[in-house]
Structure 1
């Protein structure tokens, strides 16, 4: 790879048009400037300058090297400035979370991006295991999960909680064990886990989700309540997913006698300092999750 110092010297020489002034500008000796130019010519195997005493002109090769060297040095300079500056309002922020939280959080983060156009939100909806793995592999800057992480590479801090709700078709009547058995269960990737938590706390006869006939399954967070709205079964979902469903009049949402909530945990890579923009977005998310309107 070409020596960047030689390119810097060459560009400075072309811009000043004089070996002595170039040496003064770069705090070098004039022989040192000449040596850099010779090394650059040796590297490319061609003459870059047509010398005429103390004057010179660029050869065709010299013009090409100068043009591309200026572009390359400008890009490296911009990279150096951006890395050293670490602006809280510029750059990509990579986040992963389960779908329910994402349905509520992502639109609010887009509002944050509109207020700070230098930012770019890269948001992925994923189950807990995938969120963890993306942090370990440095594909995400931060993540949210609904259970504690045992990965030694990650720090895991509780940040909020989200209620689990029972959703039945509208007009389905009272919530009884017999009514749930008649309806059957609409399953989803976390369905058995959510149902075990909520139904196990409220129905003594609950043992496992297989006690109910499975009437359907969907892994799309925005569509899980679609079969419920059509009278095809019931399900259990976190509150944010229920609130995001557009056809609220077609479902009946029940808060049971013994409420159950899932704890939300913030994941970051352990012992790794995050950029200022990520620290700022963490603070913003903490504020959103603390607001009553966001519940």
Structure 2
């Protein structure tokens, strides 16, 4: 393989036709220029220049090498620029988060894309295990989780917390354990865990969500409160999901004696340098949360 440093020295010499001026342009010694030309000629087994003191004349091989060499050097410069190009507002960023925090972030992410149309953000809602797996296998750039990472090659940092809320139909003014049993539970993918955390901390009668009558189930974060709003049952959800519900007058959030918060962790691949576009999205996430 041809040494690109020797090639650059030769092309500079072929342009200025003078050893001393070549050395000055390249911040080299004249002997260094001579060594590069000699090594290149030895590698190619071809004479490239005819020396006349400190000036030179190109051989036919030298003329051909100069023409092709200029193109190759330009391509190498373009390649270096391409590889080093790290714009903060251009390129794609893949993000995965739980549904509730996703509802909070997505409008802000859309605002960012409207401001910078060369930035492409792919946002997927997923449970913790899927998010951790995607970060580990470099399928996404950023993850948000509600627990610490359980594998060594994913690092997590707590960046906030989200309150769990007890939500009933809007006409329910006073809440009691008997009222919850009568209403029944609207389940969702994290429903059992959320109910255990919040109901267990506030109702001594609570044993397990499975002992509550199940009135419905939805795995779509934006639809979980729809049956609650229609009076079909109650549920427990993180605050961001409740805030995003389109008909807040049809539901009621009940303050409880013991508030329960779910931590929010930023999940990233351990030890991997982050592109500036990823840092841009991270700054947005931190400010939004």
Give secondary structure in 1 for the equivalent of 2:189: coil
The DSSP-based 3-state class of the residue aligned with 2:268 is strand
Return the alpha-carbon distance in structure 1 between the equivalents of residues 140 and 181 of structure 2.
41
Distance 1:78 1:100 in 2: 44
1:105-131 Cα shifts (integer Å, max 9, x gaps) = 011011122222221111111111111
1:172 equivalent to 2:162? Answer no
User: How many residues are aligned here?
Assistant: 242
Q: Any conservation in 1 of the 2:170–2:251 contact (CA below 8 Å)?
A: yes
Q: The residue matched to 1:158 in structure 2 has which SS?
A: strand
Q: Which residue of the partner structure matches residue 238 of structure 2?
A: 238
Asked if 1:24 corresponds to 2:14, the answer is: yes
RMSD: 3.0
Residues 230-257 of structure 1, C-alpha deviations (whole Å, 9 max, x = no match): 1111000000101111011111111211
The 1-side partners of 2:231 and 2:66 are apart by 80
**Partner of 2:223 in structure 1?**
223
Which residue in 2 is equivalent to 1:112? 112
TM-score (norm 1): 0.74
Distance in 1 between the 2:98 and 2:77 partners?
39
SS of corresponding position for 1:278: helix
Kindly report structure 1 stretches of 4+ aligned residues shifted beyond 6 Å: 35-38
Partner of 1:44: none
Q: Secondary structure at the match of 1:171?
A: coil
- Gaps spanning 5+ residues in structure 1: where? 10-20, 39-68, 290-295
Partner of 1:58: none
CA pair 196-85 structure 1, distance change in 2 beyond 3 A: same
> In 2, are the aligned partners of 1:166 and 1:234 still within 8 Å (CA)?
yes
Q: How far does residue 278 in structure 1 lie from its aligned partner after superposition?
A: 1.2
Given that residues 22 and 33 in structure 1 are in contact (C-alpha distance below 8 angstroms), is that contact kept between their aligned partners in structure 2? no
SS at match of 1:207: coil
Larger of the two Rg values belongs to structure: 2
Q: TM-score, normalized by length of structure 2?
A: 0.75
Q: CA 1:123 to 1:79, structure 2 compared with 1: closer, same or farther past 3 Å?
A: farther
Aligned to 1:62: none
**2-side partners of 1:279 and 1:244: how far apart?**
26
